[in-house]
Amino acid sequence: MLSTYKYPKYEYVQPPEQKSGLKKRYPVLVVGAGPVGLAAAIELAQSGVPVVVLDDDDTVSVGSRGVCYAKRALEVLDRIGVGDDCVAKGVSWNVGRTFFREEEVYNFNLLPQADHKRPGMINLQQYYLEEYEIKRARELPNLDLRFRNKVVSIAADGKGSTLQVETPDGIYTLETDWLIVADGARSAIRHMLGLEIDGKIFMDRFLIADVVMKADFPAERWFWFDPPFHPGQSVLLHREADNVYRIDFQLGWQADPEEEKKPENVIPRIKAMLGDDREFELEWVSVYTFQCRRMNEFRHGRVLFVGDAAHQVSPFGARGANSGIQDTDNLCWKLKLVLDGKAPDSLLDTYSKERVFAADENLLNSTRSTDFITPKSKTSLTFRNAVLNLAREHAFARALVNSGRLSVPAYLTDSSLNTPDSGKFAGDMVAGAPMDDAPMREAGDDFWLLDRVGNKFMALAYVDDPVAVDAKTARNFKALADAPIPVEVVLVSPKAGIAPEGLRVFEDHAGRFAERFDAQPGTVYLMRPDQHVAARWRAFDAAAVKAALARATCNVH
């Protein structure tokens, strides 16, 4: 039991198939009601796909577990209807500080630019995120969330999967066209299918202590190498919701996990850090080791793996849940098009390719962070400490300090879904990039760009004056919305104005869109449903947009 949180207990309801004894086939089943499985289920249900979610438990995650959610994950959570709750409850932060012994040697700002809706990161205990997602899932009539439903066997073929599911009332059978596996790092489904996951286990142990205390520490990430209160090791401090602070103590591989978790061993470590006068209460304690590994492919026929079931990283850099949420963001729009018969199922191969690339990027950064934090030889330790000493005075050394390169979205620049540039552009919004945000205005209403872009293909056409758009161009814009895979064209302009009938105008009143997208009059961006850039041009060409759309949906013949 936690002093700051009361665990909900969700009611088990006997499944209708078990009551009737009849098999039923569903378009999509999701196994696992953690943050990633729920995100997938909600996004699909919002798009009109009936979804069943199976979970073997009847509550949310025990302990705070994942706590850091990055800007990109928050933008995805916004689109599934839980972002506001998360940010309101969580602790927003942008600044991180790194200390060597007693001195600060390095700091960073995750969001140095103004005019973004979301902060660089929030800290929020995982059980809150799951609670908000479950609440949202229950609002959707085509989402069936089944607790205490444990998958005990699976048979998968080219047409789908048949599952045997155990409940308090016995075992029943479910069939599905597509199975999304989100049952975590120890994935039972992955094991049942005999699928391998390859990588590296790090020979070190860390103690997590969630501590309740009233303190005036700023909302920042603090990381110590070799501090006087924990010599020879590292310590990480994060502030969470409800006056809870997460402290990670490096222990070394020889530490006994069971002994280290005992309060009589944890409390002296915390007192050494905080001082004897600081009152605190232990909320949750765990000892963990970690791994950096992934499956070779995330798609196996009609079985699709997401989150920790597909890939695992060390906790330094907050790349676990953040990358899992981005998995679902990449997968669901593609699966929806395949289900609707508007794209071949080869589009789902690009889910695996794009997210394997992202996973490899995360694994590389996570491994480098871990090697810096936990040097494995005297030579590595000497090098690391030399870097930390130099970082006090020299900028080149600060760039080498690695206390966890924090989660950023992958730039899918090599994706086969991208259309290469035909004109010259500056800036970061290349094909494959996740969109930057910008403040906008429409008919006097202020909003954020990312709140009105996504879940469908959109073309953003930058014009000097919306009133000056001629009738022929307007007809070409509107014709794209009537295609089998519709593309909504929105005019973006530095000026307010009435557009031709049937078109909307986003007023770039602060000039941030023009700045971040290197937009000039005539510039057009084609955006994927997951808010990644698919293509861009310096002048509108309906045929070019159609060709880029076909490429982005694997409809090129």
Q: How far apart are the first and last CA of the chain?
A: 58
- The closest of 53, 47, 117 to 334, measured between CA atoms, is 47
Alpha carbons 548 and 541: distance in angstroms, whole number: 11
HSE-CB at 417 with a 13 A cutoff on CA atoms is 28
Q: What are phi and psi of 529, to 5 degrees?
A: -60, -20
Q: Which residues in the chain come in under a pLDDT of 70?
A: 316-318, 404-405, 407
Closest CA to 210 of 269, 279, 140, 285: 285
As given in the structure block, the two tokens for residue 40 are 């997938």
Amino acid at 288: Y
Distinct helix (H) and strand (E) counts, the chain: 15, 26
Q: How far apart are CA 388 and CA 401, in angstroms?
A: 7
Residue with tokens 């449903």: 529
Cβ(412)–Cβ(432) below 8 Å: yes
pLDDT of residue 65: 81
CB 237 within 8 A of CB 98: no
Q: Identify the pLDDT of residue 316.
A: 67
Nearest C-alpha neighbor of 244 from the set 122, 73, 91, 62: 91
Sheet harboring 95-100: ordered strands across? 103-109, 95-100, 221-225, 234-239, 244-250, 198-212, 281-294, 311-312
The DSSP secondary structure of 355-388, one letter per residue, reads: HHHHHHHHHHHHHHHHHHHS-SSHHHHHHHHHHH
Which CA distances in Å does 126 have to 110, 185, 236, 311, 340?
21, 16, 18, 18, 33
Give pLDDT, residue 215: 86
Please state the pTM of the whole predicted model.
Answer: 0.95
Longest Cα–Cα distance in the chain: 77
